Amino acid sequence: MPGPLDDPSKNRVNNQRIIAYFSMEIAVDAEIPTYAGGLGVLAGDTIRSAVDLKVPMVAVTLLYRKGYFYQTLDASGWQREEPVEWVVDDFLEEMPQRAAVALEGRSVHIRSWKYEVSDSGGFKVPVYFLDSDLPENSEGDRTLTHSLYGGDQRYRLCQEAILGIGGVRMLRALGYHEIERFHMNDGHASLLVLELLDEEAGKNGGRPITHDDVEAVRRKCVFTTHTPVPAARDQFPKELAERVLGEYQAMSDIKDLVFCGDVLDMTFLGFNLSHFINGVAKKHSEVARLMFAGYLIDAITNGVHAATWVAEPFHELYDRHIRGWRLDNFSLRYALSIPKEEVWKAHNQVKKRLLQYLNRETNVGMDLNVLTIGFARRMATYKRADLLFTDPERLKSIASKAGPFQLVYAGKAHPQDQAGKELIQRIFRIKDALAKNIKMVYLENYDLELGKMITAGVDVWLNTPQPPLEASGTSGMKAALNGVPSLSVLDGWWIEGCIEGVTGWSIGENERGTEEAGNRSKDASSLYDKLEQVIIPLFYHNRDRFIDVMLHSIALNGSFFNTHRMIQQYVLKAYFE
């Protein structure tokens, strides 16, 4: 299927890159540990869809030689972190070009390593990983690109200067002089606007930055804001910014656009210098407009790359019944015509693979015929991974009276997030208390491959964030592509994707007030009621109807909540509007 820019006679951009996509983390391969969670996975899926649709994109991120971290859990369930060992040369090609960024008055030299995401027809999107580990740099500067989300504020600001400022300079060194749009995937890359402003001012001999310069840069920039959790926004003291970055012209000429009083807020910086800003779900955009009054914030709901996240038995199923689905994800709506017995057979094949893995690795003894519920994501406290365990006795009662179920959990907490680590430990300990009634496992070192196996292999996908803090969420989208319906709090994408009893089930009510949204006991009660009265009876006593929900998950949610649709919206609204 041809992409939107596939005819070179009609579009001059077919053979040049005019979209530069910047992200602090990008997941392009399970063996390349340059991602921590949803932001990086989304970036990787975005790039894959750009390839499928032949969008002329180039991507920029940092090279993390020590990765995010390798997670282990000790006997008490406490998370331990170890550096990830990987050989850069096995996956990436070193480029000869060099660039430099001034940090604290000295030049920090950077190189790039190239990874190409390509399709069978030869269309490619190059991804450049920036690396400061060069012999001409000091020992400290060589480590600036070693660890994802590591170090103190100074370390993070230096990293973001390398990504934003160094990224633009590296693109120029590599010959990318015709970039028309710079897409910032959250605020980590916002410093790129300072470099673009300097370029505009430099066109006329380095004069003071003018309104025309600002508008020229705005025209080039696109900003996607993500989590509404305040702690996730990068903010640096003005004094630190001036010491690290030096005298950037924009910091004095248009200081009110760069600083918020005595703070360099990377979200506001990106907002102020972008012509298009979007949240990642309709509800999230509403929340963002309340948080950032005065800014026009559109909505482009996230998606996932269908061909990546669909398990092999479903690949084969769709190939038989929905020809061309890989490049035309909308055609998955025809999944409603697939015979139910074939869907159930494919699902059991995927589930069997997951349970064999679990039983081999943990000796938990999970049963193919038992309802299996999955929860796997970054272990931040607002995601309330332990909501299911609010009342363990009620949970045991449901398992004994309504029907048995088993639980699969996984996820990492940020190394500096003590509350997140304590959350993991509580869940880890609960599994022993439930062992006689409910089989449960908490898997270590959640990554791309494990995520793919879990989202496709469980029967029901659980999501329990505290509204309105879930910007989008994408794990339930991956599950839907494999016919796995969600049981989720109405927040993020699920407000758009949930048709009660048709595509899955809701926990609690939509449009709740602030006090009620934080009412853990009400959400837990709703969750238990839905399990006991709806989902478990449906799974065991009305399998035909349960498969109906599976089919509608694919046809309604799988066909829409994908990065093909998402990229097309960016093309129309932000890239080539």
Percent of the chain with pLDDT over 90: 89
Q: How confident is the model at residue 14 (pLDDT cuts 50, 70, 90)?
A: very low
Does position 33 have pLDDT exceeding 70, yes or no? yes
Mean pLDDT of 186-197: 97
Instruction: Please tell me if the domain spanning 19-70+83-303+566-575 has the same topology as the one spanning 322-561.
Output: yes
Query: In degrees, to the nearest 5, what angle opens at C-alpha 46 toward C-alphas 42 and 51?
Result: 150
Q: Specify the DSSP element, H or E, that contains 506.
A: strand 504-507
Q: In this predicted structure, what is the pLDDT of residue 11?
A: 41
Q: pTM here? A: 0.94
Q: In this predicted structure, what is the pLDDT of residue 7?
A: 46
Q: In this predicted structure, what is the pLDDT of residue 13?
A: 38
Render pLDDT for 153-183 as a digit per residue (tens, 0 to 9). Answer: 999 999 999 999 999 999 999 999 999 999 9
Does position 89 have pLDDT exceeding 80, yes or no? yes
- Residues in the chain, how many? 577
Beta bridge partners of 183: 21, 222
Render pLDDT for 405-436 as a digit per residue (tens, 0 to 9). Answer: 999 999 999 999 999 999 999 999 998 899 99
Task: Tell me which residue has tokens 């932000």.
Answer: 574
Superfamily of domain 19-70+83-303+566-575: Glycogen Phosphorylase B; (3.40.50.2000)
Structure tokens, 51: 């390839």
Q: How confident is the model at residue 8 (pLDDT cuts 50, 70, 90)?
A: very low
Class of domain 322-561: alpha beta
Structure tokens, 2: 């041809």
Reported in sequence order, the residue ranges of 35-123 that DSSP labels E, i.e. its strands, are 57-62, 70-73, 79-82, 93-103, 106-118
- Mark out the alpha helices in 128-232 (DSSP H runs): 139-142, 153-161, 167-173, 192-202, 211-220
Q: How confident is the model at residue 207 (pLDDT cuts 50, 70, 90)?
A: confident
Reported in sequence order, the residue ranges of 286-399 that DSSP labels E, i.e. its strands, are 298-299, 371-376
Mean pLDDT of 501-505: 98
Mean pLDDT of 210-221: 96
Q: In this predicted structure, what is the pLDDT of residue 516?
A: 55
Give me the residue spans of the domains in the chain.
19-70+83-303+566-575, 322-561
Does position 402 have pLDDT exceeding 80, yes or no? yes
Mean pLDDT of 314-333: 97
Closest alpha carbon to 495 in 336, 298, 295, 302:
302
**CB-based burial, 418-456: b 16+ in 10 Å, e otherwise:** eebbbbbbebbebbeebeebbbbbbbeebbbebbbbbbb
Structure tokens, 195: 């470099």
Render pLDDT for 440-493 as a digit per residue (tens, 0 to 9). Answer: 999 999 999 999 999 999 999 999 999 999 999 999 999 999 999 999 999 999
C-alpha distances (whole Å) from 520 to each of 357, 383, 431, 467, 471 are: 33, 12, 20, 11, 19
- Coil, strand, or helix at residue 402? coil
Q: In this predicted structure, what is the pLDDT of residue 1?
A: 47
Q: How confident is the model at residue 139 (pLDDT cuts 50, 70, 90)?
A: very high
Does position 5 have pLDDT exceeding 70, yes or no? no
d(CA 192, CA 201): 14
Q: In this predicted structure, what is the pLDDT of residue 229?
A: 81
| Average pLDDT value for the chain | 94
Render pLDDT for 527-552 as a digit per residue (tens, 0 to 9). Answer: 999 999 999 999 999 999 999 999 99
Mean pLDDT of 257-279: 96
SS (H, E, C) 103-119: ECCEEEEEEEEEEEEEC
